[in-house]
A and B are shown apart, each in its own frame.
Chain A
Amino acid sequence: MESKEMWQLFELTHPIQSMLAACKTPQEVVQISQEAQRTFEKLEKSTKPVVAAISGSCLGGGLELAISCQYRIATKDRKTVLGTPEVLLGLLPGAGGTQRLPKMVGVPAAFDMILTGRNIRADRAKKMGLVDQLVEPLGPGLKPAEERTIEYLEEVAVSFAKGLADKTISPKRDKGLMEKLTAYALTIPFVRQQIYKKVEEKVRKQTKGLYPAPLKIIDVVKTGIEQGTDAGYLSESQKFGELAMTKESKALMGLYHGQVLCKKNKFGVPQKEVKNLAILGAGLMGAGIAQVSVDKGLKTILKDATLPGLGRGQQQVFKGLNDKVKKKALTSFERDAIFSNLTGQLDYQGFEKADMVIEAVFEDLSLKHRVLKEVEAVIPDHCVFASNTSALPISEIAAVSKRPEKVIGMHYFSPVDKMQLLEIITTQKTSKDTTASAVAIGLKQGKVIIVVKDGPGFYTTRCLAPMMSEVIRILQEEVDPKKLDSLTTSFGFPVGAATLVDEVGVDVAKHVAEDLGKAFGERFGGGSLELLTQMVSKGFLGRKSGKGFYIYQEGVKSKNLNSDMDSILASLKMPPKSEVSSDEDIQYRLVTRFVNEAVMCLQEGILATPAEGDIGAVFGLGFPPCLGGPFRFVDLYGAQKVVDRLKKYEAAYGNQFTPCQLLIDHAASPSKKFYQ
């Protein structure tokens, strides 16, 4: 009789990542997988009942261990999640997971888990049959709550192990009618074939063939079901080995590492913790920032200039929270308690207590100057002033400040509650403590943070701008926006390039293009700004105005091209250059300009590390995750090949494609890598 506890013991990330990092060949990886398979099989076949007691995250290898036990008991709290996130690292569950899960939760649910890598909360896991019992977390007793809860979980687990041993408890679960019917249906080979086909179609559509792991997962699960467990295990370990060696997996793992790094505050603990936050401007961004702040318990003032504007912002915050209630991530009571952290107002009352003010007013330098002066008149000395802007240089905003060391940039991405990235911009005068404070707040808001130096467009906007310029050029060369979208998404961008302009807002894009064009000159040329200017003058501002390259209608899902764009595009038409206009060339023209600018940012010291550059590009701008970010891409694709392409396009178009020095250096010495 024995009960095994394994809180986070086998947590996926560290053991597997370090193990895999050491492997040079697929065979070595296959061996690791097979060893784990054998160990877990012993566990499964053990004559002594083994109960898994789960509290906290039970992911990847941890889950595979748990499902090898005879019985699973999990703590029913928000921290406890189960899942197989291997697919997100370009892998598959390589320790029997692909074989056991379909038997345990049924084929459709198993596919869903393994292919999406989603986290499953404990109560959901119980319903699915992934865990057998739940234990409610306890409050404080004679010890701290967490400690006693773990102890209690262990006590309950031991009692179940005893019950299993003397057969008073059966490890078999009563299945519901639906489950029984599904299980029956799956005994029919034809039904199974249909399921495989359906899943495969869906995966192909979603991955566009860019990610090898999901298809291999389907294959391995199928092998196990159709040809028996032995064949399944063999296939699992082999495919695991193959996947571990893929570029995609290396790119995704790199991102994972980068993300871990960007979740730390390397500037230390700020002198004064921010408890009272004030946000200026209740627009889309301001309200979004408010939402991610109040739900972490920050007392937040949301100030706007007008009552309708403020009301809209408050509604946005409420809706964001209410959506969580609908998804059962919050109770309605918690929603109300969180919402009461928000104070909406039109004046500066209470700003004397603010520890940080984030302004998210309209992108206009003179307006930003005005609010900065107004705010500085009312805030206490220690209060940090952060500006949420996507392109206005922070030092220019700080120019009118009495205390420029307290001024910093915090560039959030829209929609704030969904986008993980926060780009923090420091000027030469920004103090380290101010930076530490901004990073601390960003982390509290759940953000992945990159800290960059000030400059036109900082890092993210600056990388996007040349690519956008190329988008315009490509459209001028009479490539249909739909075609352009499909070319970009099939390269791995989550959103097509034309759609992206619509989403960002044509006026914003124009604004940025003008500003950065002035600052950087030729390198940001290529497309004609006139296109954006004409769109703005016709009111085609993108999604927010209902028309951009596409037409947006409430409740209509399929997008139609905006036919009024035809005349604008026709008037700015340019002849395509056939030698650089193949589909692949179009894709690379976009990507290489992006990558070139990113590397230039590192060269100029805007970026501190390549890892931050990759995280910023993927999490903020949707750079294809399968490529791992611009720097990882150069490492994996080869700097020489990138330079060759840039030179080819330079010959056709001119300076905007001139590769930067750092890139040329890397091409010149193949041993030079951004990631060693």
Chain B
Amino acid sequence: MTTILTYSFKNLPSTSKWALRFSLRPLSCSSQLRAAPAVQTKSKKTLAKPNIRNIVVVDGVRTPFLLSGTSYKDLMPHDLARAALTGLLHRTNVPKEVVDYIIFGTVIQEVKTSNVAREAALGAGFSDKTPAHTVTMACISANQAMTTGVGLLTSGQCDVIVAGGVELMSDVPIRHSRKMRKMMLDLNKAKTLGQRLSLLSKFRLNFLSPELPAVAEFSTSETMGHSADRLAAAFAVSRLEQDEYALRSHSLAKKAQDEGLLSDVVPFSVPGKDTITKDNGIRPSSLEQMAKLKPAFIKPYGTVTAANSSFLTDGASAMLIMAEEKALAMGYKPKAYLRDFMYVSQDPKDQLLLGPTYATPKVLEKAGLTMNDIDAFEFHEAFSGQILANFKAMDSDWFAQNHMGRKTK
């Protein structure tokens, strides 16, 4: 569920400065971004759709992404989201009353701030007249926020949208057990001492065992790491391939960081602590070191390890999207056009992590593009075994014919 927030480092296309800027974008929507007129590499086709407004990205920012349990651990999610929002205001100088709507995505909700978009926006100094809502969908909640915004823009409901995402894995809501909650709620309703005592007499020690938020799929009870390991095995992705790919991702991210290319990062000053300016999870290691790690999910013979997966992450991001004419009228130079997007879903057991394979050809076809039109793809995924499995699937005629209903890959 942390794929989006964490994976921005992992699959960075080496050449695209653009890609570095937005940690959040719809799965495989890189295609439109790359082919968009704003990126003037080899603009061939216009992807504008008749009678539909052009949607543009004005700018976007994010807080540094940290391993959970590190410097952000005492914060709350809306603190991070607020930082991203103030960073965006600062970066774009957008007048706050212009913003029509604010949408955030999050996966594990903090119950105190269930509409985290609203709480963060109020604190960040947006107008209290600007409505906000929060969306959820594992892995891609921030993309869900953006595409929700696209819908509001194309339908003419709004002209200016702020979309973002936040996750704080350092703290998750741990609840009392159902039995304990029921007893506490019943106690509230009990009127007499006798009723209260009789309820209390039903207390058992096991009521105190806490209930953790599910890190597993509800339908299959399988965690994502476990699923990734099985997926890698299904496509015969070796441990070495995974380690090599992870090393590549970390090395490229490190290079980008060192060269100062991660210009979307805005510093975050943790109250009572230092100011954070950099992601702390970019750690290129050596293949020898990586080979020593034990498997994290399928023990003792699995292939997914801590070194070839993304870490649990704390962080937030926000971006300003507008109708093209509005952006131009306000004097902005758009960074990108949002042309198309595609959501897919598959069998939650065996194909949970195969989204890119299904979505990529569909979104290309929908936009009338081919592989040749694309300079760089960007996929946000949590496990190198997973993305490599997706590559193998996308490269397989057998898979296309037997599972995707396509004639060829």
Chain A positions within 8 Å of B, measured between CB atoms, are 133, 136, 138-145, 148, 152, 156, 159-160, 331, 333
State A133–B393 Cα separation when bound (angstroms): 28
Question: How distant is the Cα of A152 from the Cα of B402 in the complex, in angstroms?
Answer: 20
Complex: A144 Cα to B396 Cα, angstroms: 13
Docked complex Cα distance between A333 and B402 (Å) = 27
1/0 contact trace for B394-405 toward A, CB 8 Å? Answer: 001011001100
B293-330 interface code vs A (CB 8 A; 1 in, 0 out): 00000100100000000000000000000000000000
Tell me, rounded to whole Å, the shortest Cβ–Cβ distance linking B83 to chain A: 38
CB 8 Å contact bits of B211-232 with A (1 = contact, 0 = none): 0000000111100001000110
Measured CB to CB, the closest approach of chain A to B94, in angstroms, equals 45
Question: What 9 pairs between A and B have smallest CB-CB spacing?
Answer: A139-B350, A141-B234, A138-B234, A141-B235, A333-B219, A139-B234, A152-B233, A142-B396, A156-B301
Q: Across the interface, which residues of B come within 8 angstroms of A145, CB to CB?
A: 234, 350
| CB closest chain-B residue, reference A336 | B219
Task: Let me know if B347 and A139 touch, CB within 8 A.
Answer: yes
Q: Once the chains are docked, how many angstroms separate the CA of A345 from the CA of B398?
A: 44
**B230 neighbours in A (Cβ, 8 Å):** 136, 138-139
Contacts of B196 in A (CB 8 A): none
Nearest to A333 among chain B residues (CB) is B219
Q: Are A142 and B399 in contact (CB under 8 A)?
A: yes
Question: How far apart are B369's CB and chain A's nearest CB, in angstroms?
Answer: 26
Interface: B351 (CB within 8 A): yes
Contact B221 A143 (CB under 8 A): no
Across the interface, do B392 and A138 meet the contact criterion of CB distance under 8 Å? Answer: no
Given known pairs A139-B234, A139-B349, A145-B350, the reply for A333 and B218 (CB within 8 Å) is yes
Residues of B within 8 A of A (CB): 218-221, 226, 230-231, 233-236, 298, 301, 347, 349-351, 389, 392-393, 396, 398-399, 402-403
- Whether A142 pairs with B398 at a CB distance below 8 angstroms is yes
Interface centre among A140, A152, A160, A331 (most CB of B within 10 A): A140
Residues of B within 8 A of A136 (CB): 226, 230, 298
- Inter-subunit contact A138/B350 (CB<8 Å): yes
Q: List 10 A-B contacts (CB under 8 A).
A: A133-B301, A139-B231, A139-B347, A139-B350, A140-B234, A140-B351, A141-B234, A142-B396, A148-B234, A148-B236
Query: Which partner residue on chain B sits nearest A134 by CB separation?
Result: B298
Asked if residues A140 and B218 are in contact (CB atoms below 8 Å), the reply is no
Whole-angstrom distance between the Cβ of B218 and the nearest chain A Cβ: 7
Distance between Cα atoms of A609 and B350 in the complex (Å): 45
Instruction: Report the nearest A residue to B234, measured CB to CB.
Output: A141
Chain B residues positioned under 8 Å from A159 (CB to CB): 301
Q: What is the CA–CA distance of A140 and B235 in the complex, to the nearest angstrom?
A: 8
CB distance from B399 to the nearest CB of A (A): 6
Q: Tell me, in angstroms, the Cα distance from A133 to B233 when the chains sit together.
A: 16
Instruction: For the complex, give the distance between the alpha carbons of A141 and B235 in Å.
Output: 5
Tell me the bound Cα distance from A133 to B295 in angstroms: 15
Kindly state the separation between the CA atoms of A144 and B220 in the bound complex, as whole angstroms.
Answer: 21
Q: How far is the CA of A222 from the CA of B350 in the complex (A)?
A: 47
Q: Of all chain B residues, which has the CB nearest A149?
A: B234
- CB proximity of A394 to chain B, nearest CB, Å: 43
* Residue among B221, B236, B301, B403 making CB contact with A140, cutoff 8 Å: B403
Inter-subunit contact A141/B301 (CB<8 Å): no
CB distance from A561 to the nearest CB of B (A): 40
CA of A160 to CA of B235 in the docked complex: distance in angstroms? 21
Task: Give the contacting residue for B389; candidates A141, A143, A152, A160; CB below 8 A.
Answer: A141
Which residue, B234, B236, B347, B399, has most C-beta atoms of chain A within 10 A? Answer: B234
Closest-by-CB residue of B relative to A159 is: B301
Alpha-carbon gap, A141 to B399, bound state (A): 7
- Give the residues in chain B near A141, CB-CB below 8 Å: 231, 233-236, 389, 392-393, 399
Complex CA gap A148/B402 in Å reads 15
Report the separation of the CA atoms of residues A141 and B231 in the bound assembly, to the nearest whole angstrom. Answer: 8
Task: Tell whether, in the assembled complex, residue A142 and residue B235 are in contact, meaning their CB atoms are under 8 Å apart.
Answer: yes
What's the least CB distance linking A573 to chain B, in Å?
56
A331 to B221, CA, bound (A): 9
B258 to chain A, nearest CB (A): 37
Give the Cβ gap from B297 to chain A, nearest Cβ, in Å. Answer: 10
**Contacts of B350 on A, CB cut-off 8 Å?**
138-140, 145
Question: Assuming the A-B contacts A136-B230, A152-B233, A333-B219, are A142 and B301 also in contact, with contact meaning beta carbons closer than 8 angstroms in the complex?
Answer: no
User: Are B399 and A140 closer than 8 Å at their CB atoms?
Assistant: yes
**Taking the nearest CB of chain A, how far is it from the CB of B240, in angstroms?**
14
CB distance from B25 to the nearest CB of A (A): 27
Cβ–Cβ < 8 Å partners of A160 in chain B: 301
Residue of A nearest to B217 (CB): A333
Chain B residues within 8 Å of A156, by CB: 301
B392 to chain A, nearest CB (A): 6
Shortest Cβ distance from B399 into A: residue = A142
User: In the bound complex, how far is the Cα of B242 from the Cα of A445, in angstroms?
Assistant: 45
Shortest beta-carbon distance from A180 to chain B in Å: 22
16 more A-B residue pairs beyond the given contacts A142-B392, A160-B301, with a C-beta to C-beta distance below 8 A = A133-B301, A138-B350, A139-B231, A139-B234, A139-B349, A139-B350, A141-B234, A141-B389, A141-B392, A141-B393, A142-B236, A142-B399, A145-B234, A148-B233, A148-B234, A156-B301
Q: Which of chain A's residues has its CB closest to B297's CB? A: A136
Q: How far is the CB of A328 from chain B (nearest CB, A)?
A: 11
CB-based nearest A residue for B392: A142
Instruction: Report the minimum CB–CB distance from B57 to chain A (whole Å).
Output: 36
| Residues of the A chain whose Cβ atoms lie less than 8 Å from the Cβ of B234 | 138-141, 145, 148, 152
Task: Give A154 Cβ to nearest chain B Cβ, in Å.
Answer: 12
Q: Which of A133, A139, A143, A144 contacts B351 (CB 8 A)?
A: A139
The smallest C-beta distance from B207 to any residue of chain A, in angstroms, reads 21
Bound: A160/B300 CA distance, A: 10
Q: How far is the CA of A160 from the CA of B301 in the complex (A)?
A: 9
Residue in chain B with minimal CB distance to A151 = B236
Report the separation of the CA atoms of residues A138 and B234 in the bound assembly, to the nearest whole angstrom: 6
Chain B residues, CB < 8 A from A333: 218-221
The smallest C-beta distance from B235 to any residue of chain A, in angstroms, reads: 4
CA distance A133 to B389 in the complex (A): 25
